[in-house]
Structure 1
Amino acid sequence: MTPSPDPSSSSSLADAVERVAPAVLNVSTRRATGTGLAWRDGVVVTSARLVWRTREVSLLAADGEPLPAEMAGVDPSTDLAVLRVTGATALPAARVASDAPHPRVGDAVFAVARDPSGLLHASFGRLGAVGGAWRTWQGGAVDQLLRLDGGLYPGMEGAPVANAAGEVLGVGSSAFSRHHGVVVPASTVERVVDELLAHGRVAQGYLGIAAQPAQARLGEERVEGLLLTSVAEDGPAARAGLLVGDIIVRAGDEPATALDRLRARLQVGSSLALTVVRGGQSLTLALEVGERPEPPERGERRGWHGGGCRP
């Protein structure tokens, strides 16, 4: 994020930072350090990339006291992780922004982080893009696009991003763009926190394919669909008989012309009929939607709008 160009607002921004600061914690592992946010009493949200496959996590509160914590769950698809504070210490929860007014392009925002020494850091900038619901390259459902006009500084993974009133818009992440920080909005954080506290994971539908938009010839007609460029061995699609080169043209009773629409139909454990074009002929194959397996490595950085070609 870039420095605020409006020095006349420095006093009010300092007050806004102070409103957020009590809920900001340092999160450190053996490999990295970042930031966490007290989302509820005893519940801390941070970046999944920071704590992914890490057994030992330490928290440092605003008063400089270390806090014992245990992992409640990780969702790499939204770059969110939840930690439970196991001691009796009460943490002031974040003040989350209300639905109105809605964020706008150009709104002043800031991220707040805490380093391993307890020192508070802030970075000021603007919202560079605001849009509707979208999906990450790992298939995570995000309720609203909130893109910063720059990246996040080191140590700000998992930092709260707030508006000029000191209300938290969401959690900062650099997992979805090479050049810009993205804010996982508060509504998405709330939903993921609920699922991680209840189940330890966010279940996502999985077919085991990579696909891209394509056209297929069916008799004298050209139809739009999704060309399978790879099929995971022993995944749901492979077990149902789908092959590389097949073009999916329908998923159930809907056209399969966009990956996002296909993903939206993937409910773990449900049956799904896929109509494919193979060698100019149409056939329908039934499969049972699986659950996406955990990635073998920490997620690499991808474009927020691009990946996600692997339902």
Structure 2
Amino acid sequence: MSDLSPLSSLSTALAATVATAAPSLVSVHSHRSRATGFVWKPGLIITADEALADEGDIIIAFADGTTRAASIAGRDHTTDIALLRFDGTDVAPMPLMAEVPPLGALAVIAAADQGTPVAALAMVSKSAGPWRSLRGGDIAARIELDTRLRPSSEGGLVLDATGHAIGMAVRGPRRTLVIPTATIERVAGRLETHGRIARGYLGAGLQPVRLDDGLGAMVMSIDKSGPAAAAGLRQGDIITALNKEPFRGMRGLMRELGPYSVGAVVELAALRAGEPVQVALTIGERPA
């Protein structure tokens, strides 16, 4: 009988997988928040935006017990990705692989708690195509894991059965989600270059209203220097359609205001004192 049972072999392989990722993991301490991050490029760390405090100093703790100060290079709340910058190029980045695991595949969450590496075993409970977050971010694949994520592990690496890093673990409503590599590379690349992700801006405060034949959005306020004012939209107007498509809610409208909407012209149908009007509005860039 072999000394190595299948279970023992699996255990050894899992331990080796975590050991490979551990040197790239850090704990991220910001105000009262504790999370995990991983070295993406020399001097740059990826972490979960939702787990990052809005203000205060940021300290990163490494597995060897050392700590360093970090600063925010950029953050995008719609995809839950934040990029931190720290002084040092001596920590090896963890290569990311653009792979989407199949349903039922095993995955390992490798994270850090006060600098000490921690791990959790999970199964891929959902593997589907692209989706859009509630905050309007485009995510390359819908990957869910069947395990609960401890708060300090948010922002940790998700490794597949071959040990490849395939994304970042974040806490979703009642489940653990994976922000896949393709999304991380796209968003972090723009954050590194520009410090932010451009978002579309109408320059109007809107309130959903119910009409006799559907939904509308009433203009409650106008930014006098914004796109809505330039297009001639007025306070009290009720938007009923965008590009000839009926208005179906604020979530659908927010989806039209993604990073690539800036500069696009949308045709708005509206009611003004009960009379139909047409407005051509050029989407601007949301102020920082």
TM-score, shorter chain, exceeding 0.5: yes
> 1:168-192: per-residue Cα shift (whole Å, max 9, x none)?
1111111xx3201111111111111
Of 177, 183, 191, which residue of structure 1 is paired with 2:178?
183
Letter in 2 for 1:103: P
Are 1:31 and 2:32 matched, yes or no?
A: yes
Output one character per residue of 1:61-111: Cα deviation in whole Å (capped at 9) or x when no partner. 232221232221111111111111223x42211122244xx4111111121
Question: What is residue 159 of structure 2 aligned with on the other side?
Answer: 162
Residue 255 (structure 2) pairs with residue 255 (structure 1): no
Residue equivalent to 1:122? 119
**Match for residue 63 of structure 2?**
62
In structure 2, stretches of 5+ residues that fail to align are 1-5
Task: Compute the TM-score of the two structures, normalised by the length of structure 1.
Answer: 0.76
Does 2:234 match 1:241?
A: yes
Q: How does 1:1-311 map to 2 (within 5 A)?
A: 7-8=7-8, 9-87=10-88, 89-99=89-99, 102-116=100-114, 118-174=115-171, 177-207=172-202, 208=204, 217=213, 227-228=216-217, 231=219, 233-235=221-223, 239=229, 240-241=233-234, 243=236, 245-248=238-241, 250-251=242-243, 255-256=245-246, 259=252, 262-263=256-257, 267-276=261-270, 282-292=276-286
Q: Which amino acid letter does the alignment assign opposite residue 291 of structure 1? A: E
Give 1:245 deviation, angstroms. 4.9
Aligned residues with identical type, % of pairs: 29
How far, CA to CA, are the matches of 2:75 and 2:220 in structure 1? 24
**Equivalents in 2 of 1:122, 1:283: separation in Å?**
58
Tell me if the contact between 2:75 and 2:191 (Cα under 8 Å) persists in the aligned partners.
yes
Give the count of matched residue pairs. Answer: 272
Q: Which stretches in structure 1 are left out of the alignment for 5+ residues? A: 1-5, 218-224, 295-311
Specify the SS of the correspondent of 1:63. Answer: coil
Cα deviation for residue 112 of structure 1 reads 1.3
Q: Kindly provide the amino acid, as one letter, of the partner of residue 203 in structure 1.
A: A
| Structure 1 residue identity aligned to 2:109 | A
CA shift, 1:216, in A, is 7.1
Q: Aligned-pair RMSD on alpha carbons?
A: 3.0
Per-residue deviation, 1:211? 7.7
Within 2, Cα distance between the matches of 1:65 and 1:265? Answer: 38
Give the Å deviation of 1:281: 6.0
CA distance, structure 1, for counterparts of residue 72 and residue 26 of structure 2: 15
- Cα distance in structure 2, aligned partners of 1:179 and 1:90: 37
Shift in CA distance, 237/281, structure 1 to aligned 2, threshold 3 Å: farther
In structure 2, what residue type is equivalent to 1:166?
G
Alignment partners' CA distance in 1, 2:130 and 2:207: 21
| Matched residue type, 2:91 | L
1:273-296 Cα deviation digits (max 9, x unpaired): 2234678864311223233456xx
> Partners of 2:280 and 2:73 in 1: how far apart?
35
SS in 2 for 1:15: helix
Normalised by the length of structure 2, the TM-score is 0.82
SS of the equivalent of 1:11 reads helix
Following superposition, the deviation at residue 33 of structure 1 comes to 1.0
Higher strand share: 2
Alpha-carbon distance in 2 for matches of 1:212, 1:163: 43
Contact kept in structure 1, 2:170 and 2:179, CA below 8 Å:
yes
Indicate the structure (1 or 2) with the bigger Cα radius of gyration.
2
